[in-house]
Amino acid sequence: MKSTHSGSRRKKIILFYSLAVVLPGIFLGYLAYRGIRNDQALREKESRRKLELNSQTFFAAIDSSLVQFMIEQTDDTIPSSSKQDNPFLLASLVKDSTGFIKLIRHKLLYVPDEMLASKPEQLSQTGHDEGLRLEFREQRFPEALRFYQNKLLKSNEPVEKIFALVASARLYLKMNQPEKAKLVYEQIRTDYLECLLNGQIPVGLMAGLEIMKINQSLGEKDEMRANSLQFLKLLRQPSCEYDKNQFDLFYQSSKEIIPQKDPVIDSLFAELDIERARTDYLIRLINRPDLMAMNGNNHINLGKDGISCIPIYSNELVAVYLSWEKSNGVRASMVIDFPAYLKSSSEKLIQKPDPNSSVNVKIEDNNGRLIFPRVIQEETGYLTFPFPDNLPQYKLLLSENQPGFITTLLKAGSGIYFYIFLLIALLMVLGFVFTIYTLNEELRLNKLKSEFISNVSHELKSPLTSIRMMTEMLTHNRVQTEERKSAYYSAMLEESERLSHLIDNILDFSGMDDDRKKYDFIDLDLNELLLKFIESTRERLPEPGFDIRYSRSDRVPVIRADKNALLQVFYNLVDNAIKFSGTSRQIDISLISKDDELLLCVKDYGIGISGKDQEKIFDRFYRGDEPQRMGIRGSGIGLTIVKKIIEAHKGRLTLESKPGEGSTFMVSIPLSGVNNRQ
Ligand code: ADP
């Protein structure tokens, strides 16, 4: 019945708590959540704007860097030898007003005839007539060889020397001395790598090819491989300019001679094929750049310098074609390998919009291949910005590095809604904990109160019952002897005294509980009061043999105190000592006078108090576990009253106890305490 009642009360309180705290909390939480979302949306918008600005600055930086590069490269005041050979510069050329194209720098494998810088140098045939006669007509090889070696010693002209060397090597071969021929070719390859024979045959390649042929005929496999690699690398990065026929000739011959199925050699051939297609494309482009523009590529002027920029996006090449009409009617043009340019310049260009590196940058081609990454911390929310029309169709991907969670929260302003949210959640949790705590406390007190009522009723009923029984016996003259009668009377007196003390306790308690209790402080001799109290207690002791010892200091000062209240303190402490004495029959009371206080100790040797109970026995209605188990009666308000009275006297109540060994309650009352107040 009781538990159903407290259960429904609990439910009611939780319901009220939900209505009063949880619902408004949820509403406020929702508002805060909306705030956080709005805040987040604002930040995202701001970040998008920032990235957009970054992309614009980045594209502008590309434009201005291209313009600057073009101006530097075509500046006639800077000698071309001191201009850096940039890996991304595929070709740089000028076209005069007559339409003549001059290549200044390039990475072509071969050069169209009309653009070749060197023209065939004519060898004076007369000087070699004798050699040719000895070698070809009369077939007198040793004499012919001597003739050329003689020439070699005498001549200072590289053209003459090359001719003589080539003829010597050829004669060694004819004389079946391949080792010697190889040595001569090696000398040609080393010393005249950048020279052309008859102004058109690249000597280095020719010598290389002859060496490979000798390697092949002598079965020198390892040497053949090394020479093949050297030859292909030279073909890939020519050290002098020659035309397409020469290239094709050496390319075809090398394909026939060099054994394939070697991964390194195969990859060199593959690279060469790509470069060949690129060279063809570049040559077409150099001759007819307008074709690019007609193919739909945009022709955009960069800046005020009148430099036009055409994006080139073909299978062979991704590049930009820059072109600039200079004041003297000369048109300078340039082809820039765009991926290579981005690889080498992006890092520098990014510094402009984003010096603090708070943005992750990626550049992808239109197939989604990564060309350049600069990722400080991988993020998912990349924004894509297509490259502008004057550049190849690449994409710039930017994402902002979001600061850490804590940094965001600490950032002024931006975390305010989150804090509110947190605060509401905290308040709700605290409110809930507090409600549950108060509820439990309330229910605990209620339980204690009910127990108190039942205990007190019992306490009241038992002395009343015995008084009634004894009165009945006396009234009906059932008690025979005078001696018995007198025992009955004193028992009745004792029981009624018990009743009176109990009622005093209850009345005092209710007065103290709501602070109605008034004290009447007078000058009091505690020693005298105690002596009388102990005397009367000895008389009313329930059983004989109980020893109450009293000791005191020689001189006990008079203090200001409430007489009845202190009697109540004595009664409650001594009554407890008697009740909880167990098998012991001794109680020690002492009154000790100290400098500034009076100390009253009530010591018993009874059941003692457990550590857990020591903390609670001064709480109202609390009764120890052990007394309840042993069936010792009580109300649970005695010590609460003692404590309140002592506090009203500005004193202290302390306890020392060990279960099974007894307890000592110590009351100290300051001598100055209430004197000042009264
Ligand atoms: P009551 O004695 O009526 O139960 P009190 O407030 O006087 O109530 O005491 C509270 C509890 O303190 C007791 O129930 C008992 O457990 C413990 N107690 C008090 N005095 C003693 C004592 N002298 N020895 C052992 N336990 C004591």
* Cβ count near 401 (within 10 Å): 15
Do the Cβ atoms of 600 and 591 come closer than 8 Å? yes
Helix (H) or strand (E) holding 436: helix 416-475
CA of 576 to the centre of ligand 1 (A): 6
User: How many Cα atoms are found within 13 Å in the side-chain-facing hemisphere of 216?
Assistant: 12
| Cβ(617) – ligand 1 distance below 6 Å | yes
To test ligand 1's pocket by mutation, which of 502, 639, 643, 653 has the most ligand atoms within 8 angstroms of CB?
Answer: 639
Find where tokens 């020719």 sit: 206
Give the pLDDT score at 367.
84
Give the pLDDT score at 676.
38
Give the pLDDT score at 678.
35
CA of 538 to the centre of ligand 1 (A): 20
CA of 614 to the centre of ligand 1 (A): 10
| Cβ(577) – ligand 1 distance below 6 Å | yes
**Residue 158 CA from chain centroid, whole number:** 70
CA of 575 to the centre of ligand 1 (A): 9
3-state secondary structure of 373: strand
> Distance between CA 505 and CA 502 in Å, rounded?
5
User: How many Cα atoms are found within 13 Å in the side-chain-facing hemisphere of 494?
Assistant: 16
Give the pLDDT score at 102.
84
Angle, helices 482-513/563-579, rounded to nearest 10 degrees: 120
Q: Domain-by-domain residue ranges, the chain? A: 119-240, 518-670
Give the pLDDT score at 540.
78
Hey, what are 11's tokens?
A: 């439910």
* Cα angle 93-95-96, degrees, rounded to a multiple of 5: 140
User: Could you tell me which CATH number the domain at 518-670 has?
Assistant: 3.30.565.10
CA of 624 to the centre of ligand 1 (A): 7
Give the pLDDT score at 578.
93
To test ligand 1's pocket by mutation, which of 454, 458, 502, 580 has the most ligand atoms within 8 angstroms of CB?
Answer: 580
CA of 456 to the centre of ligand 1 (A): 15
What pTM did the predictor assign? 0.54
Profile the chain (678 residues) by mean pLDDT over runs of 10 residues: 56 74 76 74 84 88 86 72 75 83 87 73 64 89 92 85 92 94 94 86 93 93 92 91 92 88 90 93 83 58 73 85 80 89 82 67 87 78 88 88 60 63 81 83 83 84 90 90 89 87 84 80 94 89 84 92 94 94 94 93 96 92 89 89 93 95 96 56
CA of 650 to the centre of ligand 1 (A): 23
* Cβ count near 225 (within 10 Å): 17
How far are the Cα atoms of 353, 446, 454, 576, 617 from residue 449, in angstroms, in the given order? 77, 5, 9, 20, 15
* Cβ count near 426 (within 10 Å): 10
Give the pLDDT score at 425.
80
Going by CA atoms, what residue is nearest to atom 23 of ligand 1?
577
Give the pLDDT score at 573.
97
CA of 88 to the centre of ligand 1 (A): 99
Ligand 1 atom closest to Cα of residue 613: 16
Do the Cβ atoms of 265 and 232 come closer than 8 Å? yes
Going by CA atoms, what residue is nearest to atom 2 of ligand 1?
634
> Distance between CA 224 and CA 211 in Å, rounded?
8
| Cβ(456) – ligand 1 distance below 6 Å | no
Would 119-240 and 518-670 be classified into the same CATH topology?
no
CATH superfamily of 119-240: Tetratricopeptide repeat domain (1.25.40.10)
